[in-house]
Amino acid sequence: MRDQSTRYESSSSKRKLRSCRERMICCAHSRAFPLCYFRAESPFKALNRTDFPTKKVVCNIVSTCWNIAEYSPTTLCDEPLRLALRNRHVEVARILLEAGANPNKRYFFGSEINLVSPVDLQCMELLLAFGAQPNTRDRAGLTPLMKAARLPQGIASVLLLLSYGADVNSMADVRHDYRTVLHYAILGDDPTVIDLLLKQGARLDLGPEYQKPTALDLAILKGDPSIVQKLLESGADVNATSPIIGSPLHVACADNIPNRLEILSMLLERGADPNLVIRSDEGPALRPVLAEYVASNENPSVEVVALLLKYGARVVIKTQFRDPHGILNSLQNTADKPRLLKALLEAAESFDPCMIRRSSSLTDAQKELVMEAARTPLPLTHQARLIVRKLCGTKLPKIVRKLQLPQSLHRYLLYDFH
């Protein structure tokens, strides 16, 4: 008897709930829709439909049926505002926001503004106008400004976000190598966005603790001289170092860098030091810039080597264990480049005959040439040249050009092979 009573009460409750639901739907739809339209789904699920009704119906639903500010839907489904934005029902979204919908509601992949496309200006401006936080991060740790700056057509979104106080110096987490907004703008390859961020105060110097590729490093990797020049004019540090990738010169000397010679000239002219020794607590020092270039490129160019020598690069034919500037173990790609090897031997300041004989990276022909140079005492003129170059440092070309000496001596001091 009790079981029958319980079943009856349960059935009665369901009928009352269904009746209440139908009355709610009727109230919301009035004459605009038949009652059966929403019998199988809640009014807010209908926001996901592409044939959703008029603005008046939405107003009725919001004002009559649901207190958005007080009650939150189940976490197993999207909220009405999310459904409206996802299907680009902008006016519906506006009504919901005016009725108190939370523009900063968090979902698994981020807040409302993180889930809107960065190029959807209408939805993004609507959220920002109703108080969406412009610096909120998605599940990947990226802000809307980062994603907008990454897009080639993102300048309008960047302007919009900045006008609402987006942080131009926000930084991603370790998953994205602590990249800043400027990093993403460089990856997006839009000079207008880069200019805008720099004018808005985007930082180029991230401090000595920053051990990841800088914005300048990314610009060099992309091989765009105009962006590199822009960053240098804005104060990028040409000698910023990292134990992982080295200095900007190391990056420019890596394999397959477009416009390498032009970019190297810019860096060296701005005072980049080709003799920086970059040590690491977790391993040996990085290779010198000259060694990095010769070892990383299967077809090293005499012109690039001459440029590095012109700005003071040292040539030490020893192992790095004996001297941090040693390039002995990086000469394997000079086997079929006799002119390049000859230029390096002519500029060499010291040798290690014992390690040259034991070197496994040199061919027999290379060993013979290098050993012959090692056995020959350095000429007095060459020793004088080494002293002058050491005293001048990275300003060598500027100082030499001011010396009242014959042009032949200028070329001799700068290792001008042409």
CB atoms within 10 A of CB 139: 11
In order along its 418 residues, the chain shows pLDDT tens digits of: 445 444 444 555 444 444 444 443 333 333 333 333 333 444 545 555 545 554 555 555 545 444 444 444 444 567 889 899 888 899 999 999 999 999 999 989 999 999 999 999 999 999 999 999 999 999 999 999 999 999 988 999 999 999 999 999 999 999 999 999 999 999 999 999 999 999 999 999 888 888 899 999 999 999 999 999 999 999 999 999 988 889 999 999 998 899 999 999 999 999 999 999 888 777 778 899 999 999 999 999 999 999 999 999 999 999 998 999 999 999 999 989 999 999 999 999 999 999 999 998 899 999 999 999 999 999 999 999 999 999 998 899 999 999 999 999 999 999 986 5
- Cα separation of 177 and 262, whole Å? 27
Q: Sort strands 350-351 and 316-317 into parallel, antiparallel or unpaired.
A: parallel
Under 8 Å CB-to-CB from 339, ≥6 apart: which residues?
Answer: 302
Which sequence spans correspond to the domains of the chain? Answer: 212-286, 291-417
The number of residues in the chain equals 418
Query: How many CA atoms lie less than 13 Å away from 410 in the CB half-sphere?
Result: 12
Which has the closest alpha carbon to 151: 188, 176, 183? 188
Torsion sign (Cα): 30, 34, 40, 43 = negative
Architecture, CATH, for domain 212-286: Alpha Horseshoe (1.25)
- What is the tens place of the pLDDT at every residue in 213-223? 999 999 999 99
